[in-house]
C-alpha cells in the first residue's frame, strides 16, 4: 500500500481481548487514526485479557475507557469512536478505513467484516482466540485467498466464543500482537498485494504446544466470495444471523 503510518486510518472491530492489544500496539507504532467499533461495557470478569482497562473502568462503555487510555498513550493519534455492534445495518462503520482489524468473538461479525472488506477492496486482518489456541489471517484488497476460502460459512451451533469457552489472557495478547504486526506489514509494504504485506497465510499459535506455525491458505475456486462463480456480491442481512453469546 505504501501508506505512511501517520496517514492511516485503521478500524478495529471489537475492543475486547484482541482489540485492546491491537489498539495499544498500533498507537505505540505511530498509526495516525484508529476507529473503534464496539457496543459493550467493561466487565470485571474480562479484565485479565482486556489490557487497556483497569478496575476503575468496570461498568463504563469500553470505548470511553479505551479513548481515555489511548489518549494518554498517544495524545496526537486521532480517535473515531463508533458505539455500535457491527451488524449489516451498521456495516458502514467500516467505510473509509485503510485497513480493518477484526477482533470480535463472534463468527457472524467475522464473516460480515470479511465480506464487507472484500466488497470494498479493503485489506483486513481477522483474529480469533479460544482457550490456548489463536489464529490470525491477513486478506489483501485484491481478492483471495479470503476468510471464506478458509471457513466457508458460519458453522452450525457456532456459539463457541470467549464468553462461553474461555480464553487464556496471554493468548489474546499474542494474537492481538500478531494482528497488529500484520496491519503494520500492510501499511509498510511497498505496494498493494506485495508479498511483504503477508496476505494469505494463517498464523496459528498453540500456547500449550509452544508452537507458532504459518499455514499458507489456498484460494478455493468454489469460494462464494472470491471464487470464479461467486454468489456473495452485497451485504444481505440474512446471511449473518447466529445467536449472540450474551443472549
User: At which residue does the C-alpha cell 479460544 appear?
Assistant: 130
> CB–CB of 27/35 below 8 Å?
no
Site membership for Zn ion, residue 126 (CB under 5 A): no
CB of 132 to Zn ion, least distance (A): 28
22 or 223: CB nearest Zn ion: 223
Site membership for Zn ion, residue 144 (CB under 5 A): yes
Alpha carbons 144 and 13: distance in angstroms, whole number: 21
Site membership for Zn ion, residue 149 (CB under 5 A): yes
Alpha carbons 193 and 139: distance in angstroms, whole number: 10
When CB distances to Zn ion are compared, the closest residue is 223
CA R_g for the chain: 17
> CB–CB of 210/144 below 8 Å?
no
CB of 230 to Zn ion, least distance (A): 8
Stretch that binds Zn ion, among 56-64, 107-115, 217-225, 233-241 (CB under 5 A): 217-225
Alpha carbons 188 and 183: distance in angstroms, whole number: 9
CB of 127 to Zn ion, least distance (A): 18
Among 100, 109, 226, 232, binds Zn ion (CB under 5 A): 226
CB of 224 to Zn ion, least distance (A): 8
Among 148, 185, 199, 204, binds Zn ion (CB under 5 A): 148
Give which of 57, 64, 69, 58 is closest to 38, Cα–Cα: 64
Stretch that binds Zn ion, among 93-101, 127-135, 137-145, 208-216 (CB under 5 A): 137-145
Residue 101 parent element (H or E): strand 99-102
24 or 217: CB nearest Zn ion: 217
User: How many CB atoms within 10 Å of residue 33?
Assistant: 17
Site membership for Zn ion, residue 223 (CB under 5 A): yes
Site membership for Zn ion, residue 143 (CB under 5 A): no
Residue 61: C-alpha distances to residues 53, 67, 146 (Å): 11, 10, 32
Binding residues for Zn ion (CB under 5 A): 144, 146, 148-149, 223, 225-226
Amino acid at each position: 500500500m505504501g501508506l505512511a503510518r501517520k496517514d492511516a486510518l485503521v478500524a478495529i472491530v471489537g475492543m475486547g481481548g484482541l482489540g485492546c492489544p491491537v489498539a495499544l500496539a498500533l498507537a505505540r507504532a505511530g498509526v495516525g487514526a484508529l476507529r473503534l467499533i464496539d457496543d459493550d461495557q467493561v466487565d470485571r470478569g474480562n479484565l485479565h485479557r482486556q489490557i487497556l482497562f483497569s478496575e476503575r473502568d468496570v461498568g463504563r462503555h469500553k470505548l470511553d475507557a479505551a479513548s481515555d487510555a489511548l489518549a494518554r498513550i498517544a495524545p496526537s493519534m486521532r480517535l473515531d469512536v463508533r458505539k455500535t455492534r457491527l451488524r449489516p445495518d451498521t456495516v458502514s462503520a467500516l467505510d473509509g478505513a485503510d485497513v480493518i482489524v477484526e477482533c470480535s468473538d463472534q463468527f457472524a461479525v467475522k464473516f460480515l467484516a470479511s465480506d464487507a472488506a472484500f466488497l470494498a477492496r479493503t485489506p483486513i486482518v481477522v483474529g480469533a482466540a479460544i482457550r490456548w489456541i489463536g489464529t490470525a489471517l491477513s486478506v489483501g484488497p485484491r481478492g483471495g485467498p479470503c476468510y471464506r476460502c478458509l471457513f466457508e460459512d458460519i458453522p452450525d451451533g457456532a456459539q463457541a466464543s470467549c464468553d462461553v469457552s474461555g480464553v487464556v489472557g496471554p493468548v489474546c495478547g499474542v494474537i492481538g500482537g500478531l494482528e497488529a504486526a500484520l496491519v503494520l506489514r500492510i501499511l509498510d509494504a511497498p505496494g498493494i498485494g506485495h508479498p511483504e504485506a503477508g496476505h494469505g497465510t494463517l498464523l496459528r499459535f498453540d500456547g500449550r504446544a509452544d508452537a507458532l506455525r504459518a499455514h499458507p491458505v489456498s484460494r478455493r475456486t468454489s469460494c462464494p466470495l472470491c471464487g470464479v462463480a461467486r454468489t456473495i456480491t452485497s451485504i444481505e442481512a440474512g446471511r449473518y444471523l447466529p445467536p449472540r453469546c450474551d443472549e
